[in-house]
Structure formats: C-alpha cells, structure tokens
Amino acid sequence: MKCFKSYSEVEADAAVVSWLLFLYAAAVLGWQVGWGEEFLEYMAGMLAVIPLHEAVHAAVLLAFGYRVGFGFGREGALPVAYTRPARPVEREKYLVFAAAPLAAMHLLLVWSIFGPLPAWARALYLWNTAGSSGDVLALLSTLRLPPGSMVRDRGPGFEECMPDPLPGAWRWALYVAAAAATVYVLAHGVFHYEVDYAFNLAPY
C-alpha cells in the first residue's frame, strides 16, 4: 500500500486487528465475555461504547485547544462514527488522540482489584477494545511520520496520504498471529450458550 487515506482501504486489516483485540480483551477478562444473568446491564454497557469512545477522543482534542467535529458515515462496508479535529494536528498530539480511548478504558480494570467487574464494565471494556482497530491502524500509521508532521484527519480517513500502517512483513505477521490465535481458541476454548443465556469463552 503506497497511500493510506481511507479506512475502506484497510478493511481486512481492521477486521483482523479487531479480532486480535477482542481475544486480548477476552483473555484479560478471564474469558468472561458474556452477560450471565445481567443482560440489561450488559446491553447498557454495549450501548455506551460508541458515545464514550468518541467522548474520550473529543476530550483530548479540547484539552489541546482544538475545535471538535462529530459524524457518522460509511467507508466501504464499514459503518463508522468519528470525532475529528477542525484543523491539522501535530503528530505527537495526534498519537495521544488516537490512543486515548483504548488506554482510558483500561482504567476500568482497576475495579477488579476490589471485586468482579460488573456486567456493564465488562461489556464496555470488551467492545471498546475490539472496536479500536481503526485507532490502532491510525496510531501505527502516524508513528511512521517524521516528528513535527501535521496530520489532517477528515473523520473516516485522512485528507492526505498517510504511511502504510502495516508495511512489508508486518502485515503478514499480523495475519499469522491472527491465525495462530484462532487455532489456539478453537483448541482450548468453546463458545456456548448456557440455560441462562450466558455467553462465555471457557478455556479447558
């Protein structure tokens, strides 16, 4: 890939990154990825993912003194919600902007020090993590820019060509890692529905 301007150009990469992020978050949660007997609470956490994710992006931009725009759109087959700065952003600030929601939601794990995470927190952590693939690819692309560069984010993509987020062998390494992780899950865990409609990934 010589030019990364639209997330539709990296749909397959985003899907693979999302799968790996899902497995990572599921492992962090001890594979308790379902709602158990707390369906409504779990669904509340799921519904809160997008607004809270975008609110964290917006908070970072506002803290840096940028005006913020919001929107919904479609890039290829991907429906997207986005938060964008109203003007170009310095590379170093954009890295913080891109990483903030994924990093911030890890603060929910502090709750686990005092006891089990409630269903809404598990849902929020799991689906925010899995849904951060676009941010991860933007982060990897921005890291390849020279220090001091400006990033022109248009929401569901960029106004100018950005570096390939997964150059050369890195893309192949990503797909191999995803395949290996999938084989591991199939060999050591099963998805199943229980009588109470709990949805768990339970390793042997």
The pair of three-digit structure tokens given for residue 83, joined into one six-digit string: 């938060």
CA distance 35 to 43: 8
| Residue 113 lies in domain | 4-203
| pLDDT at residue 36, as a whole number | 66
Q: At residue 60, does pLDDT exceed 60?
A: yes
Q: What is the pLDDT of residues 112-139, one digit of tens each?
A: 777 788 888 888 999 999 999 999 999 9
Nearest to 131 by CA among 79, 168, 187: 79
Q: At residue 190, does pLDDT exceed 50?
A: no
Q: At residue 12, does pLDDT exceed 60?
A: yes
- Greater confidence (78 vs 103) lies with 103
In sequence order, what E strands does the chain have? Answer: 4-6, 68-75, 78-85, 89-90, 150-151, 157-162, 189-193, 199-203
- Domain count of the chain? 1
| pLDDT at residue 189, as a whole number | 62
